[in-house]
Amino acid sequence: MNRISEIRRLHNEELEKYCKANEILYTSMQKLLEAEKTKKLLKRNALVQQNIDKEIDNAIENENK
């Protein structure tokens, strides 16, 4: 088992223990975490796209001067 898989397994075990201790459904917590990951990825992608658009606009402005 590689290091990343081992870390994921340990995190999942800790999450499961936490959920049991606090009477939270483990599957619900996993879905919530996946939704947050997706939200962060979309936000990051929007920022990257914004930076690309800004560079394109700057290049066009410099060309027109």
pLDDT at 41: 93
Instruction: Report how far residue 2's alpha carbon sits from residue 55's, in angstroms, rounded to the nearest whole number.
Output: 39
Phi then psi dihedrals of residue 16, to 5 deg: -65, -40
Dist. CA 40–CA 34, nearest whole Å: 10
Structure tokens belonging to residue 5: 């898989």
pLDDT classification of 1: cutoffs 50, 70, 90 = low
* pLDDT tens profile 20-58: 999 999 999 999 999 999 999 999 999 999 999 999 999
